[in-house]
Amino acid sequence: MLGSASLTLGNTCEGRKMAYDDVLQHLGDFGPYQARIYLLLCLPAISCALHKLAGVFLQAKPNHRCWLPYEENNASFNLSERELNLSIPRDESTGSWSSCYRFDTNFSSEYFENNIPANCTVGCDKWIYDTTVYKSSVVTEFDLVCKNAWLRATADALFMVGVLLGSIIFGELSDRYGRKIIFFISLVLQVICGTVAAFLPDYISFMIARMLIGASTSGVFLVAYVIAMEMVGPSKRLFAGVVCQYFFTIGYLLTALLAYFIKDWRMLQIALSLPGLLFLSYWWFIPESVRWLLVKGRCAEAEQLLMKAAEENKVKIPEEILKDLLDSNALSCANDHYDESQHERKPSILDLFLYPNLRRKTLNIFFNWFVNSGTYYGLSWNTSNLGGNDYLNFFISGAVEVPAYTFLLLTLNRWGRKTILCGCMLTGGLALLLTIAVPSRMSWLMILLAMTGKLAITASYGTVYVFSTEQFPTVIRNVALGASSTCARVGGISAPYINLLAEYWQPFPLLIFGSLALMGGLMALVLPETMGRKLPDTIEEGERFGRDFHRAEENNGVVMSESRTPIKIDS
């Protein structure tokens, strides 16, 4: 899914009267040139999905039991029922054999002859794992079960910390040094760290490597996404923004297929990382963002790329339009050297909390980003706790994203953003809460409800990005979306620890995610609809948006309310 929005996705020089969108009217919003580059830039999303979701299988937790003192180190997982009765206590909550405790006895021949279980239990210090489904995983190699289970959750949480740091660091670097160079630095980091992770001898270094891989996914996916979106015209941006998510879903499905055929976690880690080498060839095919070049005053390079695009699209850009674009940008870049103290204070994220209506909307949006991200990744990583076949559950969890994104393409510009966001979150929340009523023997119904929740949350996660973009004022939009994305990453960081609660009660994570989704959907009902509306540009307009009217028409400082009564707006 989409990460940090701190990177500029729209017209980077709108405030400087740059006419790049005017050029796109002649170049084409989505001509053959843009389509070719867009397709190439969507493909790395597959690689990023592999790394983001593979933790389910890299850190798979197979069935396990205590290693017993009388057994060899390579003992079989299976024991006779008599041995189980005399060696392993029953788990009081589930009634099944405990996976974390054994009877505290010397297991002598006399003990087995008496056929009476011991009274005391002791925690395991070694485990025997069932290798029927997973030949090996990080969990089985480093014994990350029972009292050490929190370490497994910490690795996933640190991965999301890396995603957060990467979105901040690589976002800033791409704005400063260029999209293309940062894309390739991130790609190299992803391949190196991904490959090295397969050879690390201890779990601490593995967690650090996973955090670096998480950071690299932000650099690869987000920067590629920004390059693609910055060359697409306004009429196609919603389409392009949603379609790129299909490629992430392809990576989701491929993760299940690779894990099914590669049972050893180290070999799987290598298989996930090496395909990234193919994208190094992009250096000769992917151009720098024209918008970024114009902002940085590199007009000659921008003009060359525009002429190349026009040639491939078989169109001609009028010379006066191109000249106006380059001249206006050159002037705006020259103005950058003025003393900033001569200009008015730039709005900051704090302005969103200084006004009551903006503050309410901002906190509401932040919470919804937190819920959508946490629930999306929580459900994606929780498939092995649903019962049934782990690989099939995971594959279905990815497959439901196809109808979710298709639903957005068909309805987002017809039914409105708020209707889709609220409807999907409420549907997903209710589906997840219903799992509490499912009998343990009906695992198929548990899976069905969980996948319904996953489909709905996928659709709402895709909607919250568009909806939030249109809620915030233009002057603070990028910063506000960056802060929203930070809240999303916090949700992703908390998801592994919520899933860890399944160790105590299987439906626990689904109930928490369902409650959060239901709460977020209800809160979103108070946000104003944005479809077909003139979006706020200034902080003052953002404060008025959705407070005094449903549709505003501002003329010389006067706004018409729903009753068409003029309302004087203080400057």
Q: Is residue 267 located within the same domain as residue 189? A: yes
In a domain, 462, yes or no: yes
Q: Is residue 285 located within the same domain as residue 370? A: no
Q: What is the pLDDT of residue 562?
A: 34
| Residue 116 in tokens | 């009476």
Task: Report, in angstroms and rounded to the nearest whole number, the Rg of the chain calculated over CA atoms.
Answer: 27
Domain end, chosen from 106, 130, 154, is at: 130
Q: What backbone phi and psi angles, to 5 degrees, belong to 564?
A: 65, 20
Residues 6+ apart with CB under 8 A from 377: 160, 491, 492, 495
CATH number of the domain enclosing 477: 1.20.1250.20
In a domain, 183, yes or no: yes
In a domain, 232, yes or no: yes
In a domain, 560, yes or no: yes
In a domain, 238, yes or no: yes
In a domain, 545, yes or no: yes
Alpha-carbon separation of residue 497 from 154, 249, 346, 500, 549 (angstroms)? 8, 24, 39, 5, 42
Q: Is residue 164 located within the same domain as residue 300? A: yes
> How many CB atoms sit inside 10 A of residue 272's CB?
29
DSSP secondary structure of 360-424: HHHHHHHHHHHHHHHHHHHHHHTGGGSSS-HHHHHHHHHHTHHHHHHHHHHHHHHH-HHHHHHHH
In a domain, 341, yes or no: no
Q: What is the pLDDT of residue 340?
A: 45
Q: Is residue 146 located within the same domain as residue 283? A: yes
Q: Is residue 243 located within the same domain as residue 365? A: no
3-state helix, strand, coil in the chain (%, to 5): 65, 5, 30
- The number of folded domains in the chain is 4
Structural domain including 111 reads 64-130
Q: What is the pLDDT of residue 345?
A: 61
Q: Is residue 57 located within the same domain as residue 167? A: yes
Alpha-carbon separation of residue 249 from 51, 62, 157, 433 (angstroms)? 13, 26, 21, 25
Q: What is the pLDDT of residue 348?
A: 73
Q: Is residue 354 located within the same domain as residue 489? A: yes
Residue-by-residue pLDDT tens, the chain, 571 positions? 544 444 444 443 444 444 566 777 778 888 898 899 899 989 999 999 999 999 999 999 998 888 888 888 788 888 888 888 888 888 776 678 888 888 888 887 777 777 777 788 888 888 999 988 899 999 999 999 988 989 989 999 999 999 999 888 887 888 888 888 989 999 999 999 999 999 999 999 999 999 999 999 988 888 888 788 778 877 787 788 888 889 999 999 999 999 999 999 999 999 999 988 999 888 888 888 887 888 777 888 888 888 888 888 888 888 877 777 777 665 555 554 444 444 456 677 788 888 888 899 999 999 999 999 999 999 999 888 887 889 999 999 999 999 999 999 899 888 988 999 999 999 999 999 999 988 877 888 889 999 999 999 999 998 988 888 788 887 777 778 778 888 999 999 999 999 998 887 888 999 999 999 999 999 999 988 888 777 787 888 888 887 754 444 444 444 433 333 333 333 3
CA distance 21 to 230: 10
Q: Is residue 431 located within the same domain as residue 463? A: yes
Strand partners, 554: 559
